[in-house]
């Protein structure tokens, strides 16, 4: 018979580690799988009530209520890999005239189960995303198209979101139903651009820095108050130090991405799960957080090395994609639950790691909100299901305190 073990936790209230940013409880939406397509935005009739709010007419009421209950501090959009092929003007104006495009990032990737990127009908675009953020009380974080876009395209997007009515794109925003600027403050320039899988793949950090600065200068001419996120690379000090030092004064966060569970490629692609669902798999998963923490520590060191000696660290860290991704269907099939109680525990461990590194980790985004690796699963029969991770993140949001105890 198993015996109970006693454990004790000592909390020292008079030795706070650091202020903790609530933005580590952030979220992420990408045009991938069923996240937007019949997830957040219902092209097909779901058999449940839809919102009657402007620009949210095809968003399910139950999904909106579930999002509001999370009290999300920040939501990232439109990607992800998708952002490096997305041209924002495709997703504005009357939906009747918005073009249907092939999903250049995900549309060609498929296996026997599904295609990861359905045709993009662009009915959920900038205005819809920003209206969603306003409705659920989240700060928007927009990732511009670095891969196939231009600095001018990015700066025009900033103007559309943030400039007054006396500008070309401010007038266009007014024409589309929103006279007041949205004042979007967080903007990312590029996504995993170091990877061969990314459109605009940039092998050399100097090339990335030079082009990043072109984007940053153009965007800050429109709005000098915006905060910028640069692409970091896990466990690559040469890349990270090059970005921090080369972009000094024009970078507020260094981005890191981390997923656990897809290391065994064959199991990930063709079997139901790359993580064994037994005691061994449980131990692998919960212990994996130490690898994330090692990545964060190395990035912290890189930032301090690359920062001017007489100043504070030149930027903070944004872990703006994190999750378990252990089976292909998690990204493109929303037909059954795929996260377990183990993932709930794992998510709590990840959030605790962010809190331990609160001095520099001030932004994080769980990937993703709906269906695709999602906290919320929408069912064709009209129901929604909330994952164990949803309940864990909601628990943190409901009991949040801005200081971490030692």
Within-domain flag for 3: no
Q: What per-residue confidence (pLDDT) applies to 12?
A: 65
Q: Are 112 and 329 contacting, i.e. CB atoms less than 8 angstroms apart?
A: no
The three-state DSSP-derived secondary structure of 301-343 is: HHHHHHCCCCCCCCCEEEEEEEEECCCCHHHHCCCCCCCCHHH
Within-domain flag for 13: no
Neighbours of 181 (CB within 10 A): 18
Q: What per-residue confidence (pLDDT) applies to 1?
A: 45
Beta bridge mates, 142: 77, 187
pLDDT digit string (tens) for 109-167? 554 455 566 788 999 999 999 999 999 999 999 999 999 999 999 999 999 999 999 99
Within-domain flag for 247: yes
Question: What does the alpha-carbon distance between residue 10 and residue 277 come to, in Å, rounded to a whole number?
Answer: 33
Total of domains in the chain: 1
Which structural domain range is residue 109 located in? 22-398
Within-domain flag for 9: no
DSSP state of 24: G
Q: Are 276 and 339 contacting, i.e. CB atoms less than 8 angstroms apart?
A: no
Question: What does the alpha-carbon distance between residue 198 and residue 100 come to, in Å, rounded to a whole number?
Answer: 22
pLDDT digit string (tens) for 152-163? 999 999 999 999
Name all contacts of 63-69 with Cβ < 8 Å and 24+ positions apart. 63/39, 63/370, 63/376, 63/378, 63/384, 64/135, 64/136, 66/376, 66/384, 66/386, 66/390, 67/132, 67/136, 67/369, 67/376, 68/135, 68/136, 68/137, 69/394
Q: What per-residue confidence (pLDDT) applies to 263?
A: 56
Question: What does the alpha-carbon distance between residue 53 and residue 146 come to, in Å, rounded to a whole number?
Answer: 32
Tokens of 372: 């695709």
Burial of residue 359 (CB within 10 Å: 0-12, 13-18, 19+) is middle
Within-domain flag for 174: yes
Beta bridge mates, 27: 75, 366
Question: What does the alpha-carbon distance between residue 386 and residue 218 come to, in Å, rounded to a whole number?
Answer: 41
DSSP state of 186: E
Q: What is the CATH number of the domain that holds 283?
A: 3.20.20.80
Beta bridge mates, 59: none
DSSP codes, 38-60: TTTB-SS--SS-B--STT-TTSB
Within-domain flag for 15: no
Q: Are 142 and 77 contacting, i.e. CB atoms less than 8 angstroms apart?
A: yes
Strands (E) across 232-282 are located at 253-260
pLDDT digit string (tens) for 204-247? 999 999 999 999 999 999 999 999 999 999 999 999 999 999 99
Burial of residue 86 (CB within 10 Å: 0-12, 13-18, 19+) is buried
Q: What per-residue confidence (pLDDT) applies to 74?
A: 99
Task: Give mean pLDDT, residues 345-374.
Answer: 95
Strand, coil or helix: what is 66? helix
Q: Are 153 and 146 contacting, i.e. CB atoms less than 8 angstroms apart?
A: no
Q: Are 92 and 130 contacting, i.e. CB atoms less than 8 angstroms apart?
A: no
Strands 376-378 and 384-386: antiparallel
Neighbours of 153 (CB within 10 A): 16
Task: Give mean pLDDT, residues 175-191.
Answer: 97
383 against 247, higher pLDDT: 247
- Whether 265 has a pLDDT exceeding 60, the answer reads no
| Helix H or strand E encompassing 175 | helix 168-175
Strand, coil or helix: what is 241? helix
User: Residues of the chain with pLDDT > 90: what percent?
Assistant: 67
Tokens of 223: 């709005």
DSSP state of 90: G
Within-domain flag for 394: yes
Residue 139: φ, ψ to 5°: -80, 130
395 against 368, higher pLDDT: 395
pTM assigned to the model = 0.93
Question: What does the alpha-carbon distance between residue 272 and residue 11 come to, in Å, rounded to a whole number?
Answer: 41
Look over the chain and give the mean of its residue pLDDT values, rounded to a whole number.
89
Please name the residue that has the structure tokens 């030795």: 15
Please name the residue that has the structure tokens 């009421």: 61
Within-domain flag for 214: yes
């Amino acid at each position: 018979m198993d015996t109970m073990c006693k454990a004790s936790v000592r909390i020292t209230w008079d030795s706070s580690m650091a202020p903790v940013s609530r933005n580590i409880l952030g979220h992420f939406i990408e045009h991938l799988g069923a996240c937007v397509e019949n997830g957040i935005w219902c092209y097909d009739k779901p058999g449940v009530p839809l919102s009657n709010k402007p620009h949210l007419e095809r968003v399910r009421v139950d999904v909106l209520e579930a999002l509001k209950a999370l009290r999300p501090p920040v939501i990232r959009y439109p990607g992800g890999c998708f952002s490096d092929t997305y041209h924002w003007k495709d997703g504005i104006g009357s939906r009747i005239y918005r073009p249907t495009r092939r999903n250049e990032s995900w549309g060609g990737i498929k296996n026997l189960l599904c295609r990861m990127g359905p045709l993009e009908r662009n009915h959920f675009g900038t205005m819809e995303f920003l209206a969603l953020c306003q409705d659920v009380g989240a700060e928007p974080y927009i990732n511009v198209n670095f891969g196939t876009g231009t600095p001018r395209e990015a700066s025009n997007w900033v103007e559309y979101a943030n400039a007054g009515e006396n500008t070309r794109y401010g007038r266009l925003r007014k024409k589309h139903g929103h006279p007041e600027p949205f004042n979007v403050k967080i903007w990312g320039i590029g996504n995993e651009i170091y990877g061969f899988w990314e459109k605009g793949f940039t092998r050399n950090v100097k090339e990335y820095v030079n082009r990043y600065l072109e984007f940053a200068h153009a965007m800050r001419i429109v709005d000098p108050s915006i905060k910028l996120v640069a692409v970091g690379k896990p466990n690559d000090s040469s890349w990270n130090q090059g970005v921090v030092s080369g972009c000094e004064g024009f970078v507020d966060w260094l981005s890191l991405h981390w997923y656990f569970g897809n290391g065994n490629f064959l199991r990930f692609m063709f079997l139901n799960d790359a993580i064994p669902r037994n005691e061994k798999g449980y131990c692998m998963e919960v212990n994996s957080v130490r690898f994330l923490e090692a990545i964060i520590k190395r990035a912290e060191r890189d930032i301090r090395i690359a920062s001017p000696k007489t100043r504070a660290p030149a930027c903070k860290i944004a872990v703006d994609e994190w999750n378990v991704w252990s089976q292909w269907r998690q990204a493109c099939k929303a037909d059954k639950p795929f996260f377990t109680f183990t993932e709930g525990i794992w998510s709590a461990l990840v959030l605790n790691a962010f809190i331990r590194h609160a001095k520099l980790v001030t932004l994080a985004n769980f990937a993703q909100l709906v269906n695709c690796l999602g906290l919320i699963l929408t069912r064709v029969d009209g129901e929604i299901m909330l994952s164990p991770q949803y309940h864990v993140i909601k628990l943190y949001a409901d009991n949040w305190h801005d200081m971490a105890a030692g």
